[in-house]
Structure 1
Amino acid sequence: MSCYTYFSIVALTVMSATAHGADSPVSFRSDIAPILQDSCLACHGAKKAEGGYRVDSYEELLKAGDSGEVPVAANPNDPGELVRRIICEDESERMPAESEPLSAEDVALFQKWVAEGAKFDGENPGQELALVIPPPTYPAPPEHYAHPVPLTAVAFSPDGKAVISGGYHELIIWNVENGTLVKRIPNVGQRVFALSFSPDAKTLAVGCGEPGRSGEVRLIDFVTGEVKAVVARTGDVVLDIAFRPGTSELAVASADSSIRIVDIQTLKEIRTIASHADWVTSVTWSDDGKLLASSSLDKSAKVYDGSSGDLISSYLGHKESVRGLSILPGNTQIVSVGADKKLHRWNISDNKKVAEVGLGSDGSKIIRQGDIVLVPCADMRLVSIDLKSNKVAQEFKGNADWVLSTAWLSGVSEPANQMVASGSFDGELKLWKASDASLVRGWTAKP
């Protein structure tokens, strides 16, 4: 049976003009790349390339697979192997394999795009699809949540009057005094994994994404809630972000195993660091911005020159995944935590461990305030460690699930009024007194 009986070339031409407009050219970025990502990438990507054929970038799309057939022919009257496969009626040949055929509208877009010369309208034909596709405007979040969202990121507002949590395609702002909903900021990634305010406290950087599909950092005007820009787009979720002190540089840790340094003023990527072999779980700068450090599921923690990105040190003492770390004042030591249930304190110069503190549970991304380190733990505790004694100083108890995130409200007039926030897997947001670890209030962080 002919592969062209499913759609004739004439029918395709008519449909393409109807579906997309006779005078409107088809865009690879906006029209073709999203179809490839949704329907083709799972079987024809860099990690899995059925038939030796890949579609994860425009450049790869044009290369023949094992069959040697030209995917997109130079002659507009010959649609080439790509269109032949997607219109084929024979299920043994039609793509996507073992799935429903593409819609008539999608097929029409492909045929019209090929007839117009299969042009690329992006900046770099070698970029992966996730980076070529224009940043989306995300759907409005639900008015009410049926179930809470795990709180993988929390932060206090610069004025200390609000605490921010991530929702589903949104940020949710809560009143610190009574836990009531203040406002909702939509149009962010499906899940929020990191929050950080710029040094001038005007821009909130949001590390977010959809697991296994996309990641990005959205820069939001915190007063207006407007998305000012989208930077550091990746093929998997952004897990952590950190501003370099005194600069507009932002370090971005991603599940695609990379670290990107971007300038939020110019919106340009300064460099990419590809030193890890697995998810980069956290990034942090030294207090003076001279050093950058990262942790990863590859069981390592690494230190880099903050200006060049050159690798300085690599610590392998955890023997398990590393999930959080901090560079201590003086730039000579690091503290790090992970799946081995310990906090390690080690020298940057020789990668030697000088102390360890038992946590009793897996630790996640940590924050440091002076000589105190806060460690969210999987056994439903938030642990405070005193770096002067290398001992557990306090335990914030009261969560009913894995504590995933924490934030510290400092800078208030009275030290006794300093607060700590914790977010857990079950969506509970809790506020604590930093001085004695007593619970101030808590609530389920869902509209």
Structure 2
Amino acid sequence: MNYTLSAMLVLVCLAGQSALGAEPTVSFRKDVAPILLENCLACHGAKKAEGGYRVDSYSELRKAGDSGEIPIAEDPKDPSELLRRIACEDEFERMPPESDPLAAEQVSLVEKWIAEGAKFDGDKPEQELALVIPPSTYAAPPEKYAHAVPITAVTFSPDGQQVVVGGYHELTVWKADDATLVRRISNLGQRIFALSFAPDGKTLAVGCGEPGKSGEVRLIDFASGEVKGVIARTHDVVLDVAFRPGAPEIAVAAADSSLRIINTETLQEVRTIASHADWVNAVAWSDDGSILVSGSRDKSAKVYNAATGELLASYQGHGSAVRGVSVLPDNTQVASVGADGKLHRWQVADAKKVAEVPLGSEGQKIVRVGTELFVPCVGQRLVRINLADNKITQDYKGHSDWVLTVAQQPGEASERLLASGSFNGELRLWKTGDATPVHSWIAKP
């Protein structure tokens, strides 16, 4: 068949219009999984599977429950029990029970998805729904806070001129010399629990999430404030992060009891360490990156071979939740603090305690600078401990609420400032050497 040039152009245009006008296919990740997560998971998850039926992953969604009815038929023309139960008018059979029915638009989406073959467009069919759904783009935080947010994470910018503070769905950045708010970095999880700059000083890792619902690490380009990547997504908050010296890896501690190692160049998971039985509150590398230590609400601190993930030691001496950990300079000992109000110093080789320092109240995440430790405490104080004699050499007092986090300014040791944040939203800057307060303010817009 011969076509003139003009006729061929008309055919091409019509084909393009047809393609443009075609309805998009329904995505399991973007369209169906959020519906299941919001309306079905409470009764049909791994922990509670009413009728023996689960929807917590795509692979489970396709399996029949106790009734034996096929939830999603292989042939779209055959009946699918899932669709029947969410679309039926009988309130005793309709899902979700004892609740409003799904909106017509939601039922229509599920119906169309099944008609199109009920395809999975994620990476792993067995992955949890919360992790299959694309990362959220969070709404902008309020222009002004009605109430202060507890400060659970703080750090200095690599040049030491700014203090970065965790806020509500954002970071607030303040000038260190006069406490002026200079900018805000948004599109972050609800609560910020951990901050760590990559060795190059350009990327800031933000451990965040919504308690009991979601958690993740967002990698931020600090210069622009843009999100470069979202890693280590989980169904509960991320509580600590730490970059590995000498390798493009980051350790991520989360409230789902996991410890994950992520390659920050590929954004792929290197390994998951499931050694703890409860929240992993804190994580730290040795100075040479050869060993890794974690502390957990399960009352233990554990040491691992960084290259293999092999468990090297498990310390059980606290008898209560462990909140902060640090590998000491020679890699043979670890310091840990927690709810028992003491700093424990113990050996990696045999997990035996060699020293103990009373703190007077629960200790939080440890910051180690050389042979000194800085420990924030809920007893409204921050303490400095000399590892040479295991004694408190400075007591930084002045906060009127629990001190939850601390960071030290980069630069000359004699001139460095300390930043400490407390439960009532107060941020304090101190002269490190003599515990003199420099600035104090409530860090809220």
State the partner residue of 1:163.
163
Matching of residues 26-37 of structure 1 within 5 Å = 26-37=26-37
State the partner residue of 2:269.
269
State the partner residue of 1:258.
258
TM-score, L = length of structure 1: 0.93
| 2:403 counterpart letter in structure 1 | V
Q: Is the 8 A contact 2:329 2:371 kept in 1?
A: no
Once the two structures are TM-superposed, the CA of residue 416 in structure 1 deviates from its matched residue by 3.6
Cα offsets for 1:117-166 (capped at 9, x unmatched): 11100111011112111111111111111111111100000001100011
Q: Distance in 1 between matches of 2:72 and 2:398?
A: 60
State the partner residue of 1:345.
345
Say which SS state the counterpart of residue 30 (structure 1) adopts: helix
Matching of residues 128-139 of structure 1 within 5 Å = 128-139=128-139
Once the two structures are TM-superposed, the CA of residue 227 in structure 1 deviates from its matched residue by 0.8
State the partner residue of 1:234.
234
Say which SS state the counterpart of residue 85 (structure 2) adopts: helix
Matching of residues 374-413 of structure 1 within 5 Å = 374-412=374-412
| 2:441 counterpart letter in structure 1 | W
Q: Distance in 1 between matches of 2:242 and 2:79?
A: 48
Q: Distance in 1 between matches of 2:294 and 2:95?
A: 41
What residue ranges of structure 2 are gaps of 5+ in the alignment? 1-20
Q: Distance in 1 between matches of 2:343 and 2:250?
A: 26
Counterpart pick for 1:435 among 430, 433, 439: 433
**CA RMSD across the alignment:** 1.3
Once the two structures are TM-superposed, the CA of residue 92 in structure 1 deviates from its matched residue by 2.7
Q: Distance in 2 between matches of 1:342 and 1:409?
A: 26
Q: Distance in 2 between matches of 1:426 and 1:89?
A: 51
Once the two structures are TM-superposed, the CA of residue 297 in structure 1 deviates from its matched residue by 0.7
1:426 equivalent in alignment to 2:444: no
Q: Distance in 2 between matches of 1:386 and 1:98?
A: 60
Q: Is the 8 A contact 1:199 1:247 kept in 2?
A: no
Q: Which runs of 4+ in 1 moved over 3 A?
A: none
Q: Distance in 2 between matches of 1:148 and 1:107?
A: 41
Say which SS state the counterpart of residue 229 (structure 1) adopts: strand
Q: Distance in 2 between matches of 1:425 and 1:110?
A: 44
Cα offsets for 1:225-279 (capped at 9, x unmatched): 1111111111211110000112211001111111111111111111111111111
Matching of residues 27-106 of structure 1 within 5 Å = 27-106=27-106
Deviates more, 1:398-407 or 1:66-75: 66-75
State the partner residue of 1:321.
321
Say which SS state the counterpart of residue 124 (structure 2) adopts: coil
Q: Distance in 2 between matches of 1:432 and 1:130?
A: 41
Q: Is the 8 A contact 1:361 1:377 kept in 2?
A: yes
Say which SS state the counterpart of residue 411 (structure 1) adopts: coil
Say which SS state the counterpart of residue 135 (structure 1) adopts: coil
Q: Distance in 2 between matches of 1:47 and 1:361?
A: 36
| 1:185 counterpart letter in structure 2 | I
Once the two structures are TM-superposed, the CA of residue 90 in structure 1 deviates from its matched residue by 2.8
Say which SS state the counterpart of residue 130 (structure 2) adopts: helix
Q: Distance in 1 between matches of 2:376 and 2:444?
A: 21
| 1:433 counterpart letter in structure 2 | K
| 2:51 counterpart letter in structure 1 | G
Q: Distance in 1 between matches of 2:54 and 2:302?
A: 33
Once the two structures are TM-superposed, the CA of residue 48 in structure 1 deviates from its matched residue by 2.0
Say which SS state the counterpart of residue 36 (structure 2) adopts: helix
Q: Is the 8 A contact 1:409 1:420 kept in 2?
A: yes
Cα offsets for 1:82-104 (capped at 9, x unmatched): 11221233333222222222111
Once the two structures are TM-superposed, the CA of residue 406 in structure 1 deviates from its matched residue by 0.8
Once the two structures are TM-superposed, the CA of residue 326 in structure 1 deviates from its matched residue by 0.2
| 2:435 counterpart letter in structure 1 | A
Q: Is the 8 A contact 2:144 2:444 kept in 1?
A: yes
Q: Distance in 2 between matches of 1:424 and 1:50?
A: 43
| 1:392 counterpart letter in structure 2 | I
Q: Is the 8 A contact 1:278 1:298 kept in 2?
A: yes
Say which SS state the counterpart of residue 406 (structure 2) adopts: strand
State the partner residue of 1:224.
224
| 1:336 counterpart letter in structure 2 | S
Say which SS state the counterpart of residue 375 (structure 2) adopts: strand
Once the two structures are TM-superposed, the CA of residue 22 in structure 1 deviates from its matched residue by 6.0
**Percent identical:** 66
Cα offsets for 1:43-101 (capped at 9, x unmatched): 22222222222111100111112222211122323442211221233333222222222
State the partner residue of 1:444.
442
Q: Is the 8 A contact 1:214 1:237 kept in 2?
A: yes
Q: Distance in 1 between matches of 2:50 and 2:175?
A: 52
Q: Is the 8 A contact 2:408 2:419 kept in 1?
A: yes
Q: Distance in 1 between matches of 2:372 and 2:88?
A: 64
Cα offsets for 1:197-250 (capped at 9, x unmatched): 001111001111111111111111101111111111112111100001122110
Q: Is the 8 A contact 1:290 1:306 kept in 2?
A: yes
Return the index of the structure with the highest Cα Rg: 2
Matching of residues 183-202 of structure 1 within 5 Å = 183-202=183-202
Say which SS state the counterpart of residue 33 (structure 2) adopts: helix
| 2:397 counterpart letter in structure 1 | K
State the partner residue of 2:280.
280
TM-score, L = length of structure 2: 0.93
Say which SS state the counterpart of residue 82 (structure 2) adopts: helix
State the partner residue of 2:204.
204
State the partner residue of 1:358.
358
Once the two structures are TM-superposed, the CA of residue 41 in structure 1 deviates from its matched residue by 1.6
Q: Distance in 2 between matches of 1:22 and 1:400?
A: 62
Q: Distance in 2 between matches of 1:430 and 1:97?
A: 51
Say which SS state the counterpart of residue 105 (structure 2) adopts: helix
| 1:251 counterpart letter in structure 2 | A
